[in-house]
Amino acid sequence: MTAITSTLRGVQAAVLRFDRVWAAFLLLFLGLALAAPHQVEPSAAFTVSAFLWILPFLLVSVLLAAALKAAGADQMIGQAVHSAPLRAVVLASVFGALSPFCSCGVVPIVAGLLGAGVPLAPVMAFWLASPIMDPEMFVLMSVALGLPFTVVKTVAAIFLGLFAGLSTLWIQRLGYLSQPLKAGVGGCGSTSCAGTSAESPEVKWTFWSERNRLRVFGNEAQSVALFLSKWLLLAFAIESLMVAWLPADWVATHLGGEGFTTILLAAAVGVPAYLNGYAAIPLVGELMEMGLQPGAALAFLVAGGATSLPAAMAVYAVVRRPVFLWYLVFALIGALVVGLAYQSGLAML
């Protein structure tokens, strides 16, 4: 009886140690091999390609966060931003609207910033503004959809960043969302990020000259990189199925009509949709020629740029549930507001 109990406990411990994200990843491809074997190779190729594209951003953010922690500068950065939070939110919104990151690509950057001690408000501003517009997209969109629509989308990106950042700053001053990162991400524990830097309080940029700081750097880089990698791989695998089985034109053609309901539907569909960025430009342009109202098109593009189902999964892995829900709410409300405002402005002209 004792031997059986010991064996059962060993099996239970092994199951608990087995990572559920990797398990979900393996089960997904196992299910494909059994139910849709023709989709295994395209999904695997899509997942690897997407992960390789995002890998440079992942490495930069992980190494930066780990270096700041090892140098003991993470708390210093957080305190510096805390001293001028409003300016930080404004700068993050403008810089985010001009940076070349998609909704998935911005996730490792966000994790690195939060892990380095940067407050949630400016990070949230950058987080939501960044995927909506970048310089290359501005040029392509101005040709395909017209310069006025492109300028409005750029302004919408900055507005969404300011809206989310200032609202986050307000609610944090009320005592909410004080610990945004999940336990084990960016070195934060379950209750606090304090004490996660190198043991010495002194900032030392040449951290590699001290064995303890070098160990902090290695441990932090390894843990955060593995944590983000597994979630992003699962997210991209699911995105491959959305691309294969939920055609973009099918989603977008159901956004026809006029009025508030259409704009609300466009924003609601845009939040979980994978369609964003460059792929959306020609399709939305064609739909606008077919009669899709500009406000609905803008709401769809803003919501789809700020978040998507794969990106939301990666975000959920990094931040605590209240922050995750806060992020989704602002993606939806922000897209709805800019869509309604744009459509109302056109009606007044």
**Does a structural domain hold residue 27?**
no
Q: Which residues, including other chains, have CB under 8 Å from residue 263's CB and lie 6 or more apart?
A: 293, 295, 296, 299, 336, 339, 340, 343
pLDDT digits (tens, 9 = 90+) for 100-123: 766 666 777 777 777 767 888 998
The DSSP result for 61-109, as a single string, is HHHHHHHHHHHT-HHHHHHHHHTSHHHHHHHHHHHHHHS---TTTHHHH
205 occurs within a structural domain:
yes
What angle, rounded to 10 degrees, do the helices at 294-306 and 321-348 form?
160
> DSSP assignment, residue 288?
H
Its domain, for residue 241, covers 38-348
Q: Which residues pair with 312 in a beta bridge?
A: none
What CA–CA distances, in Å, run from 117 to 58, 66, 68? 18, 12, 9
Give residue 99's region: left, alpha or beta (phi > 0; psi -120 to 50).
Answer: beta
Answer yes or no: is 6 within a domain.
Answer: no
The pTM (predicted TM-score) of the whole model is 0.71
Comparing C-alpha atoms, which of 48, 326, 315, 292 is closest to residue 149?
Answer: 292
Instruction: Report yes or no on 134 lying in a domain.
Output: yes
Q: Judge whether 140 lies within some domain.
A: yes
130-185 pLDDT, tens digit per residue, is 888 877 788 878 888 889 999 999 999 999 999 999 999 999 888 888 888 876 66
State the burial class of residue 161 (Cβ atoms within 10 Å of its Cβ: 0-12, 13-18, 19+): buried
- Flag whether 15 is in a domain: no
* Through-space distance between the first and last CA atoms of the chain, rounded to whole angstroms: 83
- Give pLDDT tens digits along the chain (349 positions): 555 555 545 544 444 456 788 888 999 999 999 999 999 999 999 899 988 887 887 787 778 777 777 777 655 655 656 667 888 899 889 888 887 766 666 777 777 777 767 888 998 998 888 888 877 788 878 888 889 999 999 999 999 999 999 999 999 888 888 888 876 665 443 333 434 444 445 777 778 888 888 888 888 788 778 877 887 788 788 878 877 886 666 665 666 667 788 888 888 877 776 554 566 777 777 777 777 788 988 998 888 877 776 667 777 878 899 999 998 888 889 999 999 999 999 888 7
Is position 28 within any domain? no
Q: How many CA atoms lie within 13 A of 281 on its CB side?
A: 18
User: Taking the mean position of all CA atoms in its chain, how far away is CA 266?
Assistant: 20
Does residue 25 lie within any of the structural domains?
A: no
| Residues β-bridged to residue 181 | 319
Total domain count for the chain? 1
The Cα 202–Cα 2 span in angstroms is 53
